[in-house]
Amino acid sequence: MATIYEVSELAGVSLATVSRVMNDSGKVTAKTRKKVKAAMRELGYRPNSIARSLASSRTDSVGVLVPMFYGPFYGEILSGIETELRDAGKHVIITAGHSDKASEEAGIEFLLSRNCDALILHVDAVDDDYLKKLCRESVPIVVIGRHVAGFEDHCINLDNELGGYLATKSVLVLGHKKLAYISGPLWKHDAHDRLQGHKRALMEHGLEFNAQLLYEGNFREASGSRGLEELLRIGQPFSAVICANDEMAAGALGVARERGLEIPEDLSVIGFDNVFFTRYFRPKLSTIDYQISGMGQMAARAVLKIVYGDKDLEVQNMFQPTVVMRSSVTCKTGP
Amino acid sequence: MATIYEVSELAGVSLATVSRVMNDSGKVTAKTRKKVKAAMRELGYRPNSIARSLASSRTDSVGVLVPMFYGPFYGEILSGIETELRDAGKHVIITAGHSDKASEEAGIEFLLSRNCDALILHVDAVDDDYLKKLCRESVPIVVIGRHVAGFEDHCINLDNELGGYLATKSVLVLGHKKLAYISGPLWKHDAHDRLQGHKRALMEHGLEFNAQLLYEGNFREASGSRGLEELLRIGQPFSAVICANDEMAAGALGVARERGLEIPEDLSVIGFDNVFFTRYFRPKLSTIDYQISGMGQMAARAVLKIVYGDKDLEVQNMFQPTVVMRSSVTCKTGP
DNA sequence: AGCTAGAATGTAAACGCTTACATTTTTATT
DNA sequence: AATAAAAATGTAAGCGTTTACATTCTAGCT
């Protein structure tokens, strides 16, 4: 592989000039530039990014940590991140954190050891102070799907509270009075906020939140099934169930079918996330929609802005969810 | 950030010794090793992987190119790759190729410029010679989901021909005689091979392949819909349709429902891939299953073996598909 | 004690770039 | 044409490691 030295020899200029041509930095005459470029082409020169990084202490790479790769979610996030960063000539190093503290920290350590210029993190288990300290002492970070107080411009977030509110509200306006709620693990920020929104909507309609009609799941399908079973078991009546994500809604739908409950006649169901495979549900699931890959893209932009000095890039830190009404929800009729 | 030099000073040894401790190379007394490790800990030393790469011309990173991140497929592949490589202390740099020649080549170039030690590629558009040349002249590669002649130990592949054969066979043995086939784009290797398998099964049962009952889709849901519409339109009778993947099967199922065709009574449908969301289809889709993430894992192992000299690692180059019979297929009754 | 083989450690030259600073060339001004 | 200022180019010192080779220990012999 040709080095910058060979290029400089062939072009009859110094190393520095070649470097300047490569980086579009400093002044170079058009004539010299042409000579150098010709030499590069002739030698099939490809700059060694490792040497470049060592000398400049920038790696042009961004580390990304997501809980996992599979499922409907993180693929989209990653897609948004990669597209945006690649267009800017940055590399993406990706690793998984498994929503587990030790694993998340190990992942971050792993990325740091690779000298990433910045980190984009979707982490659940590590705490806010750890993140702030990390950003202060090691490397700039951008956090997706989480609010870290006093750190707002480094956070790309969905208004989960609003989402929970809208989901609930859209059921309440149809006359439902008794609502059950299947939440995600409440130590997770998004799960917690969605439930808060639910409570706010209830309050607004003069209804009391009934803790017996809350089931705390784990965002996975099976916990949605267990949730509805449990809620039915305790015998408190309800005409609609709000699920904090679509996968749990899928579980609930499955149990409803087994029990012979007609959806939406006997029970209205609403999900959250609008993941792509909800199109296969029957009846079609009403849910809360937002731009998943858009959030990834924004995280990438935030990095471009904060770290690589792309000052006039627009970054949207907060995303607004909207309601998608399909056929799993209907008016409350009868008593 | 502390450097190796500061560690060596604090420990009262030379740079070389610190390096030896870090890499477990060469001989170091237990006592010295202890001193060095203590110094590392005290300084919170973290080796600079960039400098290390420059000096050793190994980056301990593997470039991965997949067509895209979203969808049910590549997330699993990536998951398999990342887990295996991370355990081996290697980094993963990921980029997307969009099944487009220019984009795939750009992606590969991109990874090469990052000095990856090896590449794992899931590419459709570039040709075999390009891949062989790449491996010969630039960097070792492992190819997923594709057969490159004379290059078998660098390929991790599914026996697509067998899959197509099994899918078809499993319908034929139930008495179906008129089969339609919705294929992927036939320039893609997997699509082509699956169709070959289909033909072999037909032949084995003494049936002639009828080109009018073939529709060439693009592996996406909408083309499955169009495919079944088209097949119905031409008026040739058939009692079962084999789809070259589950997404197209989903499209076909949708059209069948619209047309009031009962599945499987009026039409048997079988898919391919067994992606996770087929569980939501009604009726449940019969399909062809294989280890998606296992293929990613094997690709990673192949790299470990070929590039990093992990000699006694077992690599399975060919994966065997199996039939999963669910309720979208039934016996052929009547004429 | 003196010698030696082998083990442990040290020395210093890469690796391929960037960049502050020094030098030379060009252009503008008088 | 002489001079100053600005522009272009060159020089050389890093960046933090690895590693071939050189040197210094250590222990086992005689």
Whether the CB-CB separation of B19 and B47 falls below 8 Å is answered with no
- Do A278 and A170 share a structural domain? yes
CA distances from B308 to A121, B59, B170, B241, B302 (A): 29, 11, 42, 46, 9
Q: What pLDDT digit, counting tens, does each position of B141-175 carry?
A: 999 999 999 999 999 999 999 999 999 999 999 99
- Do A251 and A109 share a structural domain? no
- Do B183 and B133 share a structural domain? no
**At A302, is the secondary structure helix, strand, or coil?**
helix
Residues of chain A with pLDDT under 70: 334-335
Residue from B124, B46, B59, B134 nearest B90 by CA: B59
- Do B193 and B114 share a structural domain? no
Whether the CB-CB separation of A237 and A178 falls below 8 Å is answered with yes
pLDDT score for B254: 94
pLDDT score for B335: 59
- Do B220 and B314 share a structural domain? no
The separation, in Å, between residue A29 CA and nucleotide C28 C1' comes to 18
Look up the CATH number of the domain holding residue A24. 1.10.260.40
Q: What is the mean pLDDT of residues B227-238?
A: 96
pLDDT score for A158: 96
Whether the pLDDT of residue B334 is over 70: the answer is no
By Cβ distance, the residue of B59, B78, B82 closest to A50 is B59
At A235, list the tokens.
């015998």
Strands A179-183 and A240-243: parallel
Inter-chain residue contact B75 with A79, CB threshold 8 Å: no
Q: Distance between the two ends of chain B, CA-based, in angstroms?
A: 79
Interacting residues of B230 by C-beta distance below 8 A, sequence separation 6+: B215
What's the burial of A330, exposed, middle or buried (CB within 10 Å: 0-12/13-18/19+)? buried
Which nucleotides in chain C have some atom under 7 angstroms from a protein Cβ? 7-20
Residue from B194, B122, B285 nearest A277 by CA: B285
- Do A76 and A33 share a structural domain? no
Whether the pLDDT of residue B115 is over 90: the answer is no
List of chain A residues whose C-beta atoms are within 8 Å of the C-beta of residue B51: 54
Q: Provide the chain A residues 61-90 that lie in CB contact (below 8 A) with chain B.
A: 61, 68-72, 74-76, 78-79, 82-83, 86
Whether the pLDDT of residue B282 is over 90: the answer is no
Whether the pLDDT of residue B26 is over 80: the answer is no
- Do B248 and B183 share a structural domain? yes
Three-state SS for B96-165 is: ECCCCHHHHHHHHHHHHCCCCCEEEECCCCCCHHHHHHHHHHCCCEEEECCCCCCCHHHEEEECHHHHHH
- Do B71 and B109 share a structural domain? yes
Strands laid side by side in the A268-270 sheet? A214-216, A179-183, A240-243, A268-270
Q: Which residues of B261-273 are buried (b: 16+ CB within 10 A; e: fewer)?
A: bebbeebbbbbbb
Residue B328 lies in a domain: no
pLDDT score for A334: 62
Q: Is the CB of B28 under 7 A from strand C?
A: yes
Q: Is the CB of B27 under 7 A from strand C?
A: yes
Q: How many CA atoms lie within 13 A of A109 on its CB side?
A: 13
Grade residue B24 by pLDDT with cuts at 50, 70 and 90: confident
Interacting residues of B71 by C-beta distance below 8 A, sequence separation 6+: A75
pLDDT score for A335: 59
* A99 or B333, greater pLDDT: A99
CB neighbours of residue B81 within 10 Å:
29
Inter-chain residue contact B92 with A93, CB threshold 8 Å: yes
Q: Which nucleotide is nearest to A26 (CA to C1')?
A: D8
* A168 or B116, greater pLDDT: A168
The separation, in Å, between residue A29 CA and nucleotide C27 C1' comes to 14
- Do A147 and A296 share a structural domain? yes
Residue B334 lies in a domain: no
| Cis before B185? omega within 30 | no
| DSSP character at residue A279 | G
Residue from B39, B50, B48 nearest B6 by CA: B39
Whether the CB-CB separation of A238 and A231 falls below 8 Å is answered with yes
Q: Containing domain of residue B146, as a range? A: 59-158+292-320
- Residue with minimal CA–C1' distance to D16 is B51
Whether the pLDDT of residue B67 is over 70: the answer is yes
Look up the CATH number of the domain holding residue B316. 3.40.50.2300
- Do B126 and B241 share a structural domain? no
Residue B332 lies in a domain: no
pLDDT score for B1: 77
pLDDT score for A86: 85
Query: How many angstroms separate the CA of residue B185 from the nearest CA in chain A?
Result: 23
At B156, list the tokens.
């991790």
The structural domain count of chain B equals 3
Interacting residues of B34 by C-beta distance below 8 A, sequence separation 6+: none
Q: What is the mean pLDDT of residues B110-121?
A: 88
Residue A70 lies in a domain: yes
- Do A98 and A150 share a structural domain? yes
**At B179, is the secondary structure helix, strand, or coil?**
strand
Residue B299 lies in a domain: yes
Distance CA A239, CA B42 (A): 62
At A78, list the tokens.
């990653």
Residue of A4, A48, A60, A114 to mutate when probing chain B, most B C-beta within 10 A: A114
CA distances from B175 to B143, B161, B332 (A): 39, 22, 5
Q: What pLDDT digit, counting tens, does each position of B166-203 carry?
A: 999 999 999 999 999 999 999 988 999 999 999 999 99
Residue B314 lies in a domain: yes
Interacting residues of A194 by C-beta distance below 8 A, sequence separation 6+: A160, A161, A163, A164, A167, A183, A184, A244, A272
For chain B, the average pLDDT equals 92
Query: How many angstroms separate the CA of residue A55 from the nearest CA in chain B?
Result: 9
- Do A36 and A94 share a structural domain? no
Q: Does B95 touch chain A (CB under 8 A)?
A: yes
Query: How many angstroms separate the CA of residue B286 from the nearest CA in chain A?
Result: 16
E strands, chain A, are 61-66, 91-96, 118-121, 141-144, 155-158, 179-183, 214-216, 240-243, 268-270, 287-289, 318-319, 322-324
By Cβ distance, the residue of A93, A250, A277 closest to B93 is A93
